[in-house]
Each structure stands twice: as structure tokens, then as C-alpha cells.
Amino acid sequence: MERKSAPATAKPVVQKSEGKAGSMFASIVIPVAIIAAVLIYMFILGNPANFEGNDNANHPLPGNMLGQVYKGGFIVPILIAINILVLAFSIERFMTISKAKGGKGLEQFVRTVRQKMDVGDVNGAIAICDQQKGSVANVVKAGLLKYQEMHTEVGMTKDQRILAIQKEIEEATALELPMLEKNLVIISTIASISTLVGLIGTVLGMIKAFAALATASGAPDATQLANGISEALINTALGITGSAIAIVAYNYFTSKIDELTYSIDEASYSIIQTYAAQHSETNRI
């Protein structure tokens, strides 16, 4: 009874601590990204050296992209913050998923576990999990420990033992995989809203451009017209960039999580099939 209760209390503690770490990262990186974006907009893009007469109220120097981006207006720091968030959460997810894979390649790990199970070396398979580490190894190890436990269980039928192993693997998977998907919702949200925020800047820029055309004298203000069109295009470019990066990152991490899930399913199937085959042979003898 003590051996069964210890894993049950250890897993939620790990899950809870990892959950707090993920939430803390989000709560820290979002305000930091906003502050960094404002500072970049004010002191780097808005540096007087980027403008004529050393005054950011004037036109940007010819060919100076920093000054041109600054003229995109107040939407620019919002879009810069969005791009910073995409990069920050992409790096965080990459590190988390890489850690979940463990030390060696997943294919090699699953192949080694299956080889150990084929010869009935459960302890060797558990040792491989300890060396591999990561979420996949944790789930497989939980199934192997339950596998050993079922060998000493005398009050259950074969089907009940197999179901017990399956349930243990499912519970371990339910504890591990949600942490891999954490913060992906932020990336997917950014992929949706980045273009929309850029579109707001585009509309505001076009409003200024058309306002420059509608002058009382009838002659369009070429300077204001150019500034309005520039603002619209700059916001469009930043919005599309953030959305494109977020979409690529989300699809990449989703495919990696699917790869981890497939590896867990493959190793779990091998464990269950090995137990069923060995138990059937024992019954025939």
C-alpha cells in the first residue's frame, strides 16, 4: 500500500510546481515585453539622430529605417511587444519540449525499451527510462512500474491487470502532456490578433493619408499623405511579421507534441502486448 501511494502523491507535486513555473513565466514576460517595446520605440526608434535636425518630430533621414518605423505611430510599440512575446514564448516552449524528449532521440529510446521488453528485462527498461528522463520516459516508467506490480497481484484477472497498466499510463500521460501545451494558447492568440492590430494601424495611417488629400485649398499635402501611407505600411508589415512567426511556431510545437504522444503510445503498446503475451504463455504452461 505504501508503494502505491507514494507515486500518487509525487506526481501532482511535480505537476503543480511546473504549472506554477509556467504561469510565473507568462506573468513576468508579458509586462517585461511591453516595457521593452516602449523603451525601444522611444529611445532606439525615436532617437533624434535618426531624424533631420536631430528632432524626432521631423522627417527621418533618407534611408533610415529606424526613423521610418518610429513614424508608424503609437501602434508600433504594441506590435513590437507582440513580436517580442512570440519570440519569448517560442524559446520557452522549445526548451520545455526539448527537455520533455529527454537525453536521447525518441526513436532510439522507444526501440531500446521494446528490445528490453521483448527479452523480459523490465528492470533494464526502467533503467533506460532513468537515463532518458523527460516526460516520455516518466510515462513509460510509470507503466513499467505498474507492469512489475501486476506480476505480484493475485486478486485480479488478466484483463483487469492489463486495464490497470493502461490506466496507470493514461494517468501519467494526463499529468505530463498538459505542461507541454501550456502557453501554446498565447502563441495561437498572438497569431490571430497580430494581423488585426497591424490592420488597426493600417486604417489609422490611411485615415491620415486621406485627410491630407481633403485640404481646404484643394491641393493635397504631400508630406502628410506620405506620412499616412508610410504609417499604414509599417503597421501592416509588423502585424504580418508577428502573425507569421506565431503561426509557424504554433504548428511546429504542435507537431513536436504529437511526436511525443506517438512515442508514448508506441512504448505503451509494447508494454501491454508484452504483458499479455507473457501472461498467456504462463496460463498455457
Please say whether the beta carbons of 46 and 70 come within 8 A: yes
Cell 504561469 -> residue? 23
Domain count, the chain: 1
Residue 11 lies in a domain: no
Give the residue-averaged pLDDT of 194-220.
84
Residue 251 lies in a domain: yes
pLDDT tens-digit map of 70-111: 999 999 999 999 999 999 999 999 999 998 888 878 888 988
**Maximum average pLDDT range among 18-27, 177-186, 218-227:** 177-186
Residue 13 lies in a domain: no
- Confidence grade of residue 284 (pLDDT, cut at 50, 70, 90): very low
Residue 257 lies in a domain: yes
Residue 6 lies in a domain: no
- For 251, the domain range is 22-280
**Nearest Cα to 172, choosing from 41, 15, 2?**
15
Answer with the residue of higher pLDDT: 250 or 181: 250
Cell 502557453 -> residue? 183
Residue 84 lies in a domain: yes
pLDDT tens-digit map of 131-179: 998 889 999 999 999 988 887 777 788 888 889 999 999 999 888 888 8
Residue 250 lies in a domain: yes
Residue 83 lies in a domain: yes
Q: What is the pLDDT of residue 271?
A: 87
Q: What is the pLDDT of residue 184?
A: 93
Q: What is the pLDDT of residue 282?
A: 47
Q: What is the pLDDT of residue 1?
A: 36
Angle in degrees, CA 226, 229, 230, rounded to 5:
80
Q: What is the pLDDT of residue 103?
A: 81
Tell me the angle at which helices 134-151 and 222-284 cross, rounded to the nearest 10 degrees: 20
CA 59 to centroid of chain Cα atoms: 40
Measured between alpha carbons, how far is 132 from 164 in angstroms, rounded to an integer? 24
